[in-house]
């Protein structure tokens, strides 16, 4: 690995300090920052409004590491999955999902995951480390390039639904969002970004206070404590549904942004009337909508099976009667293991 420090780990202020310390004009920081974050320069030679000497000087002090797409797969429905090589050669996956009107990038925030959601393939990978802000931004930059190349239009939406729990890498995820949305960098609208969490109440509150103006999705999957804890042990560790609800109400009070609940319906687990009623009661307590998502099998075990369509209809009917909007989300990219919960670095890279 390159031993020179990564210049993209410096803020614009820190860059300014560096230039001033070395007898350069402070405005150089603004120029270099733009090259790094807006024009996506891969080396110092691209920075043509700096003198040759200054470029050589920067190159002596810093590196500009960049993620590399190590492996690329395209599904029959157009979904693209990338195996992304990070700065230390660890690998995460990112997914690009096209629809008629938009392209959504699904980005990773951690290598592996420390949670233990029983239905998720990523949970089987040990959490190795957090991604840095530039590693997260790079996934977006690559997705935007791919969207233009393969679908003919720029990236429109970003969801933090790849590998990892974004709220357990809070500072780096917020710093990446700042770069993605800032006019000095990628300049995308925060309303097109969704942070998806398994539900970490303390961090939901913190994000409400910091208010990056992004949308919040919560992977709920059950509104009954015992069942949720059984399939998502993080539930009990974080104080259960009561604490989650309080944090979500706090989020809504602060941001006035409606929450999306992600909800899988499993045969014999949460496909009964009691589960339906519990979800309706829970969702009524905070402005929200529900995405009923399709389960993507992650192995051959039959512990988890997608419930019948008629159960989904019952869920939708009950939600509708309570005035709660719901949609049924069919999976994309299943044939290449790119669908929700299937990201597990399965490809053989040798
Ligand atoms: N840790 C975050 C983001 C990653 S998971 C979170 O929990 O929200 C992204 C979404 O995929 C979550 O809603 C998760 O519950 C869902 N998911 C996980 N495994 C799945 C599977 N096998 N099939 C369908 N969705 C799954």
String of DSSP letters for 275-314 = HHHHHHHHHHTSSEEEEEEPP---SS-SSS-BPPHHHHHH
Residue 160 Cα to ligand 1 middle (Å): 10
Which residue is closest in CA terms to ligand 1's atom 8?
197
Q: Sorting pLDDT into bands at 50, 70 and 90, what band is 334?
A: confident
Using DSSP's 3-state secondary structure scheme, residue 135 falls into helix
Whether 330 shows a pLDDT value over 70: the answer reads yes
- Mention every residue, 6+ apart, whose C-beta is less than 8 A from residue 294: 264, 306, 328, 329, 330, 331, 339
Going by their DSSP bridges, the two strands 68-74 and 80-85 should be labelled as antiparallel
* Any atom of ligand 1 within 6 Å of the Cβ of 262: yes
Closest ligand 1 atom to residue 297 Cα is 22
pLDDT in tens, 65-124: 999 999 889 998 899 999 999 989 899 999 999 988 899 999 999 999 999 999 999 998
Q: Is 12 a catalytic residue?
A: no
Would you tell me how many other CB atoms lie within 10 Å of the CB of residue 76? 9
What is 7-61's CATH number, 1.10.150.530, 1.20.120.450, 1.20.1090.10, 1.10.287.3510?
1.10.150.530
Closest ligand 1 atom to residue 165 Cα is 1
Q: Report which of residues 180 and 72 the model is more confident about.
A: 180
Q: Sorting pLDDT into bands at 50, 70 and 90, what band is 345?
A: low
Q: Is 340 a catalytic residue?
A: yes
What's the fold here for domain 68-336? Answer: TIM Barrel (3.20.20)
* Any atom of ligand 1 within 6 Å of the Cβ of 341: yes
CATH 3.20.20.70 range(s) for the chain read 68-336
pLDDT at 136 (0 to 100)? 98
* Any atom of ligand 1 within 6 Å of the Cβ of 214: no
Residue 220 Cα to ligand 1 middle (Å): 10
Residue 126 Cα to ligand 1 middle (Å): 16
Q: Sorting pLDDT into bands at 50, 70 and 90, what band is 349?
A: very low
CATH 1.10.150.530 range(s) for the chain read 7-61
Torsion of CA 121, 177, 139, 37, to 10 degrees: -160
Mean pLDDT, rounded, for 269-294: 98
Tell me the percentage of the chain whose pLDDT exceeds 70.
97
* Any atom of ligand 1 within 6 Å of the Cβ of 109: no
Q: Is 23 exposed, middle or buried (0-12, 13-18, 19+ CB in 10 A)?
A: exposed
Among 19-28, 35-44, 295-304, where is mean pLDDT lowest?
295-304
Residue 61 Cα to ligand 1 middle (Å): 41
* Any atom of ligand 1 within 6 Å of the Cβ of 107: no
pTM of the model: 0.95
* Any atom of ligand 1 within 6 Å of the Cβ of 343: no
């Amino acid at each position: 690995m390159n031993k020179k420090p990564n210049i993209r780990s410096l803020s614009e202020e820190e860059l300014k300090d560096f230039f001033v310390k070395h007898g350069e004009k402070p405005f150089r920081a603004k120029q270099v920052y733009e090259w790094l974050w807006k024009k996506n320069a891969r080396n110092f030679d691209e920075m043509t409004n700096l003198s040759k000497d200054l470029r050589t000087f920067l190159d002596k002090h810093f590196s500009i590491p960049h993620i590399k797409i190590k492996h690329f797969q395209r599904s029959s429905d157009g979904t693209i999955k990338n195996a992304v090589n990070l700065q230390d050669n660890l690998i995460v996956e990112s997914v690009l999902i096209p629809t008629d009107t938009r392209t959504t990038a699904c980005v990773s925030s951690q290598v592996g995951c420390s949670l233990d959601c029983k239905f998720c393939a990523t949970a089987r990978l040990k959490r190795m480390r957090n991604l840095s802000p530039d590693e997260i931004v790079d996934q977006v930059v690559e997705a935007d390039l791919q969207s233009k190349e393969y679908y003919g239009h720029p990236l429109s939406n970003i969801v933090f639904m790849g590998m990892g729990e974004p709220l357990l890498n809070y500072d780096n995820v917020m710093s990446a969002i700042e770069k993605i949305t800032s006019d000095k960098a990628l300049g995308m609208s925060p309303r097109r970004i969704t942070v998806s969490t398994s539900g970490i109440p303390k961090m939901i509150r913190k994000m409400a206070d910091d208010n990056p103006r992004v949308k919040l999705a919560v992977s709920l999957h059950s509104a009954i404590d015992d069942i949720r804890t059984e399939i998502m042990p993080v539930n009990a560790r974080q104080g259960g549904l009561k604490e989650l609800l309080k944090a979500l109400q706090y989020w809504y009070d602060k941001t006035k942004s409606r929450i999306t609940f992600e909800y899988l319906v499993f045969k014999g687990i949460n496909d009964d009337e009691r589960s339906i009623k519990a979800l309706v009661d829970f969702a009524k307590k905070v402005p929200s909508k529900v995405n009923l998502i399709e389960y993507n099998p992650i192995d051959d075990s039959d512990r988890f099976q997608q419930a019948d369509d008629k159960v989904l209809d019952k869920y939708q009917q009950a939600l509708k009667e309570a005035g709660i909007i719901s949609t049924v989300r069919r999976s994309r990219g299943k044939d290449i293991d790119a669908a929700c919960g299937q990201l597990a670095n399965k490809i053989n890279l040798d």
